[in-house]
């Protein structure tokens, strides 16, 4: 087990270097000069020259990259060009926000997706199955930002039930924090739940048609026990993969949802940073999101082993 | 009786302390940048500074200069020295007193900090002299008519000199009615009431919370839901519904800036086309565009048509240049005179729903006169760079505007102007605008600007389309607010009934 984890971690290092290199070069390919956005409307030539030198923007590409990499390895992610705040501080501020949003969204998605998937597999071909499919399809098809704005209009403006947008840290006011995050996490969960439901359904269908389920039924086990204990546990493998990957994706920030609900998480940070060409922030956040994604992959691998004993002793 | 009195008293105390602790929440369109007045560059940042940092002088709603940290000021006879008498009761948020030494230190910092964005604004200042404890004099290398206007904005904001070495950008210590409390980037900036401020009694909120909410629809929804108390820059498409909403107050004001079409008239490859070469073609384009149509259709009455770079409120806005009315036939005649019947060019713009609508309208109106415009929606930062390097034919872009007329014109049309993306160059215009810079006398200055405009309105390197509005929306519980043409949020005397 430890060996597997260690091996995975070693493989992660070249991946991270590759990711940072790709992001670094893509940023350089972006049209637009970061200095023009930094120097203000007036664009004073003296200031432009000073900033260009200060941020080494005239150095060759590889020098800039190696300087950045060296700083990162010594724990320095640099400062935001736009606000002067250290990138590490920004990440520390935004990571809990994005984590909370991702967790609430994934929990909601699991609560909706798995029961719906099981139900529609067990009642295959019935109106329940069709209804679940239609709902799932709409969940995937409705754009996040649209659903978000409609929810704000109805729930916050018309009914005045939940705050329209913003963020309250759970340490400051736990209940208010959950209330503010409820709509955005629901918006994210609709699409995720649909994926989960479809995968649960197909995994359950294939398990339910296998021999040992017929045997279990023949033994006279209660249908509930057959479905939940025997079928679902074996159908969980693809669902676990999907859930961890979806969660890893959420860690990179739910850009549109965060934008609509003005949640100060990774997504908003990175979009703003790209628009203002705030290179240091883009680099830092992407690296952090990549680490999160790789970590979630590792979690998936470990969960396989926990769920499926056959994987514990690889030949 | 005694109980009654006691109850009444307690009630009053409670009510006062409740009023003391009251929050006021303002929805901003963007997240401000560095909170260091000498290095800051954004418009929204200035909205925050208005409550945070006192300036030497301020402007009133009619753009006259009024005292703030300076009580009076005077020019020397040769217009080379500007002397300020300062208030004696101003304190910085760290408790240190404001005086002439502090004023000198701040102006020196703004002039010399390597990445100060105020350098060009204070370029005429040669030295700063402390005359006595509360008198400071600025010695200039040449007369500078724009200086007062600069000092009524960020260049005149005063930080506590004791904190220069600290992290000013993330913890600014000024002398305004509110002091910096905290900031979470992209989420909020919180200011707390500064109880020792000389006018503390006129500022009625315990805390100010500035919340960047970029989406205009969501910003308005927050106001309607009661999650914020006011917002800046309403999207014109929402104007109708706000006007009809009794729970909201709509307070639009024409700003200092403009939106217009900048045309590449330089000598580069992209300027080598009828539009760039021939002023008659540009005049025809102006005749083809209905500024009032844009105001009605896209602006919902908020986009006041502009013919000149100066706002209507400015004394430099000249009656000699009324707004040119749309006349497609006259435009066709001009094109025929120029020997071209169909003119094709590419019009770039920073992409959002409002600019998209405006430029499609321009495209359609100009087509009637024989212009074949292809629209090129671009991301803003990319467009800026293309314009700077001359890689564009025409671009719809704006300027947020300055109190002094120089700020709206000089850098855009003088041969070496840093913002002259049109690459327009006319020595006569240079001479007139340089003269206007060193002429403090309003009437003489007006004449110089009028003469310069006579040339520019004929050559048309920039076609001004409308004055940028600042549409504020407030909850009807707010009273005492006045919208200023500079778009700032001044909270003196503003109250909130809750």
pLDDT given at position A313: 64
- Lowest-confidence region among A113-117, A211-215, B271-275: A211-215
Taking only residues 149 to 208 of chain A, the set having a beta carbon closer than 8 angstroms to any beta carbon of chain B reads: 149, 152-153, 156-157, 160, 163-167
- Provide the shortest C-alpha distance from residue A273 to chain B (in Å): 11
Among B225, B386, B407, the strongest candidate for a mutation testing the A interface, having the largest count of A CBs within 10 A, is B225
Q: Is the Cβ pair B119, A44 closer than 8 Å?
A: yes
Most confident of A245-254, B4-13, B402-411: B402-411
pLDDT tens for each residue of B177-226: 999 999 988 899 999 999 999 999 999 999 999 999 988 889 999 999 99
Q: Name which residue leads in pLDDT, B105 or A212.
A: B105
pTM over 0.90: no
CA distances, B84 to each of B79, B112, B419 (Å): 14, 21, 31
Tell whether B384 is within 8 A of chain A (Cβ): yes
pLDDT given at position A154: 93
- Provide the shortest C-alpha distance from residue B221 to chain A (in Å): 6
Average pLDDT over residues A58-73: 87
B35 to chain A: closest CA residue = A83
Measured between alpha carbons, how far is B175 from B69 in angstroms, rounded to an integer?
A: 9
Does the structure show a pLDDT above 90 at B447? Answer: yes
Q: Is the Cβ pair A275, B380 closer than 8 Å?
A: yes
Tell whether B182 is within 8 A of chain A (Cβ): no
Provide the residue ranges of all domains of chain B, joining segments of one domain with +.
17-218+481-498, 255-469
- Chain length of chain A: 315
Provide the residue ranges of all domains of chain A, joining segments of one domain with +.
96-274
Q: Rounded to 5 degrees, what angle do the CA atoms B10, B15, B21 make?
A: 125
Q: Please, is B458 exposed, middle or buried when counting C-beta atoms within 10 Å of its C-beta (0-12, 13-18, 19+)?
A: exposed
Q: Is the Cβ pair B41, A50 closer than 8 Å?
A: no
Average pLDDT over residues A269-291: 86
Mean pLDDT for chain A overall: 87
Contacts of A51 in chain B (CB under 8 A): 115
Does the structure show a pLDDT above 50 at B14? Answer: no
B387 to chain A: closest CA residue = A32
Q: How confident is the model at residue B239 (pLDDT cuts 50, 70, 90)?
A: very high
Does the structure show a pLDDT above 80 at B134? Answer: yes
Q: Rounded to 5 degrees, what angle do the CA atoms B369, B375, B381 make?
A: 140
pLDDT given at position B274: 95
Tell whether A28 is within 8 A of chain B (Cβ): no
Does the structure show a pLDDT above 50 at B101? Answer: yes
**Token pair of B33, please?**
């940048």
pLDDT tens for each residue of A215-248: 888 888 888 888 888 888 888 888 888 898 889 8
pLDDT tens for each residue of B155-175: 999 999 999 999 899 999 999
Contacts of A31 in chain B (CB under 8 A): 379, 381-382, 385-386
Among A164, A176, A187, A279, the strongest candidate for a mutation testing the B interface, having the largest count of B CBs within 10 A, is A164
CATH topology of domain B17-218+481-498: D-Maltodextrin-Binding Protein; domain 2 (3.40.190)
Q: Which of B170, B222, B411 sits opposite A84 (nearest CB)?
A: B170
CATH 3.10.105.10 applies to domain B255-469: yes
Tell whether A268 is within 8 A of chain B (Cβ): yes
Q: How confident is the model at residue A192 (pLDDT cuts 50, 70, 90)?
A: very high
CA distances, A22 to each of A65, A93, A249, B26, B170 (Å): 11, 25, 18, 39, 31
Tell whether B386 is within 8 A of chain A (Cβ): yes
pLDDT given at position A267: 86
pLDDT tens for each residue of B48-69: 999 999 999 999 988 899 999 9
Size of interface A-B (CB pairs under 8 A): 139
CA distances, B274 to each of A292, B74, B364, B462 (Å): 55, 50, 19, 15
CATH 1.10.3720.10 applies to domain A96-274: yes
pLDDT given at position A314: 53
Measured between alpha carbons, how far is A125 from B304 in angstroms, rounded to an integer?
A: 62
Can you say whether the dihedral through the CA atoms of A222, A226, A230, A233 is positive or negative? negative
Q: How confident is the model at residue B362 (pLDDT cuts 50, 70, 90)?
A: very high
- The interface predicted TM-score of the complex, written ipTM, equals 0.80
Nearest to A193 by CA among A113, A293, A281: A113
Does the structure show a pLDDT above 90 at B369? Answer: yes
Q: Is the Cβ pair B225, A164 closer than 8 Å?
A: yes
């Amino acid at each position: 087990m430890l060996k597997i984890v260690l091996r995975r971690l070693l493989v992660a290092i070249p991946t991270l270097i590759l990711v940072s290199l790709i992001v670094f070069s893509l940023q350089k390919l972006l049209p637009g000069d970061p200095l023009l956005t930094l120097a203000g409307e007036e664009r004073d030539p003296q200031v432009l020259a000073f900033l260009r030198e200060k941020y080494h923007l005239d150095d060759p590409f590889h020098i800039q990259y190696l300087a950045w990499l060296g700083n990162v390895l010594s724990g320095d992610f640099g400062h935001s060009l736009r606000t002067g705040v250290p990138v590490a501080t920004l990440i520390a501020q935004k990571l809990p926000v994005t984590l909370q949003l991702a967790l609430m969204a994934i929990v909601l998605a699991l609560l909706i997706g798995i029961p719906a998937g099981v139900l529609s597999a067990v009642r295959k071909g019935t109106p329940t199955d069709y209804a679940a499919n239609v709902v799932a399809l709409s969940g995937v098809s409705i754009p996040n930002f649209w659903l978000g704005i409609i929810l704000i209009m109805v729930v916050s403006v018309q009914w005045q039930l939940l705050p329209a947008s913003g963020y309250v840290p759970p340490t400051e006011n736990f209940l208010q924090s959950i209330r503010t995050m409820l709509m955005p996490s629901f918006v994210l969960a609709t699409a995720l739940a649909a994926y989960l439901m479809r995968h649960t359904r197909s995994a359950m269908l294939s398990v339910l048609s296998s021999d040992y389920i017929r045997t279990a039924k023949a033994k006279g086990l209660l249908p509930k026990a057959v479905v939940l204990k025997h079928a679902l546990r074996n159908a969980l493998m693809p669902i676990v993969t999907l859930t961890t990957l979806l969660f890893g994706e959420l860690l990179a920030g739910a850009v549109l949802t965060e934008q609509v609900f003005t949640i100060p998480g990774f997504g908003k940070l990175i979009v703003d940073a790209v628009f203002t060409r705030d290179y240091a922030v883009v680099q830092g956040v992407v690296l952090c999101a990549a680490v999160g994604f790789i970590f979630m992959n590792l979690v998936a691998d470990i969960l396989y082993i926990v769920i499926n004993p056959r994987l514990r002793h690889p030949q | 009786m005694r109980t009654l009195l006691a109850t009444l008293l307690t009630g009053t105390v409670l009510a006062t302390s409740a009023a003391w602790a009251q929050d006021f929440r303002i929805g901003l369109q963007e997240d401000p940048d560095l909170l260091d007045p000498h290095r800051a560059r954004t418009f929204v940042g200035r909205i925050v500074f208005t409550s945070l940092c006192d300036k030497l002088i301020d402007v009133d709603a009619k753009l006259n200069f009024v005292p703030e940290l300076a009580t009076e000021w005077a020019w020397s006879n040769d217009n080379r020295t500007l002397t300020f008498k300062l208030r004696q009761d101003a304190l910085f948020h760290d408790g240190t007193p404001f005086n002439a030494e502090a004023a000198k230190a701040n102006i020196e910092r703004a002039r010399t900090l390597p990445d100060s964005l105020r350098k060009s604004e204070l370029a005429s200042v040669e030295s700063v002299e402390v005359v006595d404890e509360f008198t400071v004099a600025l010695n200039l290398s040449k007369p500078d008519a724009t200086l007062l206007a600069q000092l009524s904005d960020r260049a005149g904001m005063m930080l506590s000199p004791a904190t220069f070495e600290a992290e000013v950008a993330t913890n600014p210590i000024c002398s305004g009615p509110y002091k910096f409390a905290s900031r979470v980037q992209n989420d909020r900036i919180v200011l707390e009431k500064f109880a020792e401020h000389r006018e503390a009694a006129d500022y009625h909120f315990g805390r100010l919370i500035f919340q960047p909410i970029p989406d205009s629809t969501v910003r308005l929804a927050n106001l309607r839901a009661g999650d914020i108390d006011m917002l800046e820059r309403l999207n014109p498409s929402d104007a109708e519904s706000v006007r009809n909403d009794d729970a909201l107050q709509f307070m639009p004001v024409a700003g200092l800036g403009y939106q217009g079409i900048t045309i590449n008239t330089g000598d580069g490859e992209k300027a080598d086309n009828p539009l760039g070469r021939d002023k008659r073609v540009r005049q025809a384009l102006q005749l083809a565009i209905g500024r009032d149509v844009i105001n009605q259709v896209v602006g919902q009455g908020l986009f006041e048509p502009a013919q000149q770079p100066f706002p209507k409120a400015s004394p430099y806005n000249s009656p000699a240049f009324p707004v040119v009315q749309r006349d497609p036939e006259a435009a066709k005649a001009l094109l025929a005179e120029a020997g071209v019947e169909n003119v094709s060019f590419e019009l770039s713009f920073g992409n959002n729903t409002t600019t998209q609508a405006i430029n499609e309208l321009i495209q359609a109106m100009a087509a009637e006169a024989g212009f074949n415009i292809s629209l090129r929606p671009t991301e803003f930062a990319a467009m800026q760079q293309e314009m700077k390097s001359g890689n564009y034919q025409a671009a719809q872009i704006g300027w947020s505007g300055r109190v002094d007329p120089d700020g709206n014109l000089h850098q855009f049309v003088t041969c070496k102007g840093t913002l002259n993306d049109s690459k327009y160059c006319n020595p006569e215009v240079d001479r007139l605008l340089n003269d206007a810079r060193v002429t403090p006398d309003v009437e003489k200055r007006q004449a110089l600007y009028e003469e310069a405009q006579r040339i520019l309105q004929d050559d048309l390197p920039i076609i001004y389309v409308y004055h940028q509005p600042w549409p504020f929306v407030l909850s009807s519980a707010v009273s005492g607010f006045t919208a200023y043409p500079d778009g700032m949020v001044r909270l003196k005397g503003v109250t909130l009934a809750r």
